[in-house]
């Protein structure tokens, strides 16, 4: 029981970070842009948030900075992919490379002079602590959902809203049209450029926020490469959730759960039937299998399970 509750708590904590970034990437990909720069963007967000919090002690400001930096990273990606119609895969990888390198670099230069300008090893006074809701937090196991940081509580509203936005509003309709058939969307008067720019940047802002969740709440500290590949899990999550913000929650809990399980087992030095490394790659394997099977089954029909048809294809207005 105890173990399960603790596992759930860890899952939720890590899941918060994953969830923000996943939501962001869902929107980006739904509009047709593949952003493989998640890992770098999240790391930059984590850095921005941490550095700001350390310097100013203002958590709110830290979150804002993380989002701004995340947005800027994706702005570069948007510019390259939408305006300059560059190869989206290479662009994403370049952003990851750049973002990871820059974050690690600055992480050792933006710190207090007292610590040799290094952010590694500093202590954060202000951080996002858990806020417990009385009574609700005592529910066995599920109580873990009510003893979380404000960042997570925010998700309880943001996630349903983003599902609603995508499927029930006219903007969501526009995004989906742009990602499926940009020519049709353009013919109907929508600006493909504007929509793709907007949601790529928003995706980056959310990714930055997701990164900040790590450095300001989950493990309040700074370390080289502290996102540890979560950016790639986010990419897998988006596919696994079939580009649906609602399903992303389930995926996050599953993937987050597997990863948390992996860490707690490693920490406990427990040797299980399933080695912890298998848990580490399980999310990717699951995603691979699900994607392949679903594509094979849905051969002649594009069901709700397919990627946005125009994903990663550049769109030029003058292509008649």
Partner 1 sequence: MEHITKHFPGVLANDDVSLELYPGQVLALLGENGAGKSTLMNMLVGLYRPDSGSIYIRGELAEIHSPQDSMALGVGMIHQEFKLVGNMTVAENIVLGLKELSFVPNMDEIRSRIRELSKRYGLQVDPNAVIHNLSVGEQQRVEILKLVYRGADILILDEPTAVLTPGESRDLNEILKIMLSEGKSAIFITHKMDEVIEFSHKVQVLRRGKTVNTCDTTTVTPKDLANMMVGRDVLFSLDRCPYNPGGVKLKIDHVTVSNPLGNRPYLDDVSLEVHRGEIVGIAGVAGNGQTQLTDAITGLVPISAGTIQIDGRNMTNATPLQIIRAGVSHIPADRGANGIVGDMSVGDNLAMKKYRTKEISKGMVIKRSFLRAFADKLIQAFVIKTPDQDTCVKFLSGGNIQKTILAREIDSCGGVLIAVYPSRGLDVGATEAVRQNLILQRDKGNAILLISEELDELQMVADKIAVMFEGRIMGIRNVKETNTEELGLMMAGHTEARRDA
Partner 2 sequence: MRIALEKRDSKSRKMAVIIPLASFVISLILGALVLAASRSNPLQAYQAMFNGAFGNARRFQYTIVEALPLLMCGLGVGIAFRLKFWNIGAEGQYVWGAIGITWVMQFWKFVPIPMLLPIGLLVGMILGALWAGVPGFLKAQWSVDETLTTLMLNYVAIGLAEYLYINAWKAPFGNMGTPEFPRETWLPPVWGKVHSGIYIALALVVILYFLLYKTRWGFELNMIGKNPRAARYQGVSIKKNIVIAMLLSGAICGLAGSVNTAAIAHRLTRGVDGGYGFTGIIIAWMSGLNPFASILVAFVMAALTTGADALQIAMRLPESMGEVLQGLVLIPLLAGSIFVEHRLVIIKKEAV
Binding interface with partner 2 (CB under 8 A):
34, 36, 40, 76, 79-80, 84-87, 89-91, 93-110, 117, 224, 229, 232, 235-236, 239, 275, 277-278, 280-281, 284-285, 287-288, 291-292, 295-296, 299, 307, 312, 316, 318
Encoded tokens for 118: 């290094």
Q: How far apart are CA 273 and CA 270, in angstroms?
A: 10
Q: How far apart are CA 118 and CA 320, in angstroms?
A: 54
CB of 169 vs partner 2, minimal distance in Å: 28
When asked if residue 271 is in the footprint of partner 1 (CB under 8 A), the reply is: no
CB of 244 vs partner 2, minimal distance in Å: 16
Nearer CB in complex with partner 1: 77/176? 176
Residue 58 interacting entry, from partner 2, partner 1, none, C-beta within 5 to 8 Å by type: none
Residue 177 interacting entry, from partner 1, partner 2, none, C-beta within 5 to 8 Å by type: partner 1
Footprint (CB under 8 A) of partner 1, residues 136-175: 168-171, 173-174
Among 83, 184, 292, 295, binds partner 1 (CB under 8 A): 184
Residue 95 interacting entry, from partner 2, partner 1, none, C-beta within 5 to 8 Å by type: partner 2
CB of 31 vs partner 1, minimal distance in Å: 13
Footprint (CB under 8 A) of partner 1, residues 75-104: none
Nearer CB in complex with partner 2: 8/34? 34
Nearer CB in complex with partner 2: 59/82? 82
Nearer CB in complex with partner 2: 79/153? 79
Q: Which residues contact 37 (CB under 8 A, 6 or more apart)?
A: 73, 74, 77, 91, 92, 93, 94, 95, 96, 99, 204, 231
By CB under 8 A, how many residues form the interface with partner 1? 25
CB of 99 vs partner 2, minimal distance in Å: 7
Encoded tokens for 38: 């998640």
Q: Are residues 128 and 217 in contact, defined by beta-carbon separation less than 8 angstroms?
A: yes
Residue 251 interacting entry, from partner 2, partner 1, none, C-beta within 5 to 8 Å by type: none
Encoded tokens for 123: 């202590």
Closest CA to 38 of 55, 57, 23, 16: 23
């Amino acid at each position: 029981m105890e173990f399960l509750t603790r596992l759930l708590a860890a899952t939720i904590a890590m899941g918060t970070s994953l969830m923000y970034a996943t939501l962001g990437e869902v929107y980006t990909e739904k509009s047709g842009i593949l952003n493989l720069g998640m890992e770098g963007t999240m790391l930059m967000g984590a850095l921005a948030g941490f550095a700001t919090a350390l310097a100013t002690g203002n958590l709110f400001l830290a979150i804002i900075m993380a989002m701004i930096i995340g947005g800027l990273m994706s702005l570069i990606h948007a510019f390259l992919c939408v305006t300059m119609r560059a190869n989206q895969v290479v662009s994403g990888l370049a952003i990851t490379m750049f973002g990871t390198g820059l974050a690690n670099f600055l992480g050792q230069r933006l710190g207090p002079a007292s610590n040799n300008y290094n952010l590694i090893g500093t202590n954060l006074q202000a951080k996002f602590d858990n806020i417990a809701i009385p009574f609700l937090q005592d529910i066995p196991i599920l109580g873990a959902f009510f003893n979380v940081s404000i960042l997570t509580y925010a998700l309880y509203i943001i996630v349903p809203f983003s599902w609603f936005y995508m499927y029930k509003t006219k903007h969501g309709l526009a995004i989906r049209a742009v990602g499926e058939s940009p020519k049709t969307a353009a013919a109907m008067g929508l600006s493909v450029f504007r929509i793709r720019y907007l949601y790529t940047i928003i995706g980056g802002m959310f990714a930055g926020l997701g990164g900040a969740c790590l450095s300001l709440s989950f493990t309040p500290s700074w370390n080289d490469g502290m996102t540890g590949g979560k950016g790639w899990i986010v990419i897998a999550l988006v596919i696994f959730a079939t580009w649906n913000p609602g399903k992303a929650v389930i995926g996050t809990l599953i993937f987050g759960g597997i990863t948390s399980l992996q860490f707690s087992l490693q920490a406990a030095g427990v040797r299980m039937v399933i080695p912890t490394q298998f848990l580490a790659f399980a999310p990717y394997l699951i995603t691979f299998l699900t994607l392949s099977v679903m594509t094979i089954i849905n051969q002649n029909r594009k069901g709700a399970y397919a990627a946005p048809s125009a994903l990663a294809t550049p769109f030029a207005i003058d292509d008649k």
